[in-house]
Chains A and B, each alone.
Chain A
Amino acid sequence: MSSVFSVELFYVISGVVFAAVGWRALRNPQQPRRWGSVIFWALLAVVYLFGKSLPPAAVGYGVLVMVVLAALRQVEKPQSEGAPREERAASAERLGNKLFVPTLLIPATAVVGALVLAKIHFGEVWLLDKKQATLAALGVGGLIALAAGLRITGAKATVPMGEGSRLLQSIGWALVLPQMLAALGGIFAKAGVGQVVSELVAGALPTQYPFVAVAAYCVGMALFTMCMGNAFAAFPVITLGIGLPLIVQQHHGNVAIMAGVGMLSGYCGTLMTPMAANFNIVPAMLLELRDKNAVIRAQVPLALTILAANVVIMYFTVYRF
């Protein structure tokens, strides 16, 4: 089962982008800690270009080198801030609302992709990657937007590469944090960390009360998600350890309500943890916030409110329907 726009194709494009970042770091006279940055981005490029054919251990040691470079502060961004504000304002004046066309093409492609493109196939060859149609549509949207952007601005093709490199360098090593955390989650799961956590929670609380069982499950989902950075990883562990034995077997609760509201309780944990890097840390870097926990700080009151509401919603429905 193959496809024209496979996710693998976009990994290759990403690899080329990372190679370009490394190349620019090499050639930029203002690049601080040149060799650290060059090696970091080059290793990343190699993993994206050849990831599937490399032995996993080789990738692992490569990642170790990247981590050491980041920890020794050898991966830094250059000072240059891009084009001056007056120049940008003048060009905004000249181009007007046409500037929005490329950005709006990205969500438009997502809609068309989900509704139409994902269904197109020529025999066994699909237009979009069947398993990850949303990602493939996003990639196609990015390419279409780039073409439109070049046309509207009349810029040379080197400009998006340069500006893209600048933004990627301002995110820096945080870019690979989500993948590292996914790996940590995998190792935790393999080591059986989840079972220990659910035994601890179930053993420490008076779970003979139906309300306590609900609160333990919702809060447990949120807390374990905060440790793992991922509600999907927490769900099976906490549901097996707390939800099913206490809410369903002991107190005869409704499985669908428990699961639905339980997963959303996990998302409250996602809002509060640096471990959910791609939702909290990467955006802070992308928006060039000085405090990389600023997004989490904005979200904590929201997360606690929604979590409390989830406990109430589940308590009043799970034993009733």
Chain B
Amino acid sequence: MIKLIGILVVAVGFALRFNTLLVVMAAGIVTGLVAGMSFHEIMEQFGKFFVENRYMTLPVVLIVPVVGLLERYGLQERAETLIRRAKAATAGRVILLYTAVRQVSIALGVNIGGHPQMVRPLVAPMAEGAAHAQHGELPEKTKEAIRAHASAGENIGNFFGEDVFIAVGAILLMKGFFDGLKIEVSVWAMALWGIPTAFVAFAAMWWRTRVLDRRVAREVSEQRAANPETKEARP
């Protein structure tokens, strides 16, 4: 039981809003000490894992210079202009379409999305642009909600598409785990049984983006009621 103290540290640390890095390191140190490791050994573990997992930051670090450059030259403004011409576009529909593309492409084994490379430069500004074209000036909290949902679309598409493809890490990890236990499992069967959940996930996202569109409309009209001078929607 005492080994669970790390989870307690994390829960309490997050609840009290301490710096997340500090909470995580404290939880690691406490758990390590309880399990009988020395402070030096714990630092060694942190160092080892930190170096092994450097790959986690690569998608961000390798992409932000080009995204920053293009944003400086008006990428987001252009994405908004482009989407404004599509009359049927709403924030929710833009996000849902991206989710579909993301889910299908990764199910076919091609990883074309990501927060730095797609959501920040294209999906979020296009979704915001669609809402802006439809309703005029958006309240700050509405813009943030749209961006958060764009991120959610990326995660849902990514997570619930990938296991349908057998060469993906998760399926191979499970295969390796069962091989180690001498249990015979087919990678095809595991991939096949990921399909129902993939459909449910997409349906849930469809419902979520409809709720988002209604929320955008509501928040804009609330703001306009409170502040009648804000600009009107498209003519």
Binding site for B on A (CB under 8 A): 7, 10-11, 13-14, 17-18, 47-48, 51-52, 54-64, 66-68, 70-71, 82-83, 85, 88-93, 95-97, 99-100, 102-103, 106-107, 110-111, 114, 132, 134-135, 138-139, 141-143, 145-146, 149-150, 153, 155, 159-164, 166-168, 171, 173-184, 186-188, 190-193, 196-197, 227, 231-232, 235-236, 239, 244, 254-257, 259-261, 263-264, 267, 270-271, 274-275, 277-284, 286-287, 289-291, 294-295, 297-299, 301-302, 305-306, 309-310, 313, 317
**Cα distance A57–B145 in the bound complex, in angstroms:** 42
A114 B109 Cβ-Cβ under 8 A: yes
Cβ of B67 < 8 Å from any Cβ of A?
yes
B51 A264 Cβ-Cβ under 8 A: no
Return chain A residues, CB-CB under 8 Å to B177.
235-236, 239
Return chain B residues, CB-CB under 8 Å to A64.
25, 43, 46
* B 88-126 binary contact with A (CB < 8 Å = 1; else 0): 000000000000000000000111111111111110100
Inter-chain pairs besides A95-B78, A263-B163, A278-B56, 13 sampled, C-beta below 8 Å:
A59-B47, A138-B63, A146-B65, A146-B69, A168-B60, A178-B57, A183-B46, A187-B6, A193-B3, A260-B194, A283-B115, A287-B148, A298-B148
- Known A59-B47, A88-B74, A286-B116; contact A260-B62, beta-carbon cutoff 8 A: no
Majority secondary structure of chain B interface residues (helix, strand, loop or mixed): helix
**Cα distance A263–B191 in the bound complex, in angstroms:** 11
B19: which of A70, A313, A317 is its contact (CB, 8 Å)? A70
Closest 9 CB pairs of A and B: A163-B68, A92-B74, A60-B43, A59-B47, A60-B47, A164-B65, A183-B49, A256-B189, A107-B112
How many residues does chain B have at the interface if contact means C-beta atoms less than 8 Å apart? Answer: 115
A60 B44 Cβ-Cβ under 8 A: yes
B119: which of A281, A283, A298 is its contact (CB, 8 Å)? A283
* B 62-94 binary contact with A (CB < 8 Å = 1; else 0): 111111111111111111011000000000000
Which residue of the partner chain B has the closest CB to A82? B72
Return chain A residues, CB-CB under 8 Å to B117.
103, 106-107, 138, 141
- Known A70-B21, A160-B66; contact A14-B58, beta-carbon cutoff 8 A: yes
Return chain B residues, CB-CB under 8 Å to A164.
64-65, 67-69
Return chain A residues, CB-CB under 8 Å to B205.
302
From A178, A227, A286, name the one whose CB has the most chain B CB atoms within 10 angstroms. A286
Min CB–CB distance A28 → chain B (angstroms): 15
Return chain B residues, CB-CB under 8 Å to A294.
144-145, 147-148
B43 A57 Cβ-Cβ under 8 A: yes
21 contacting pairs across A/B (C-beta < 8 A): A13-B61, A60-B43, A68-B22, A82-B71, A89-B74, A102-B70, A106-B66, A135-B59, A138-B114, A138-B117, A139-B58, A146-B66, A160-B69, A173-B19, A179-B49, A184-B24, A187-B6, A264-B163, A275-B10, A298-B152, A306-B201
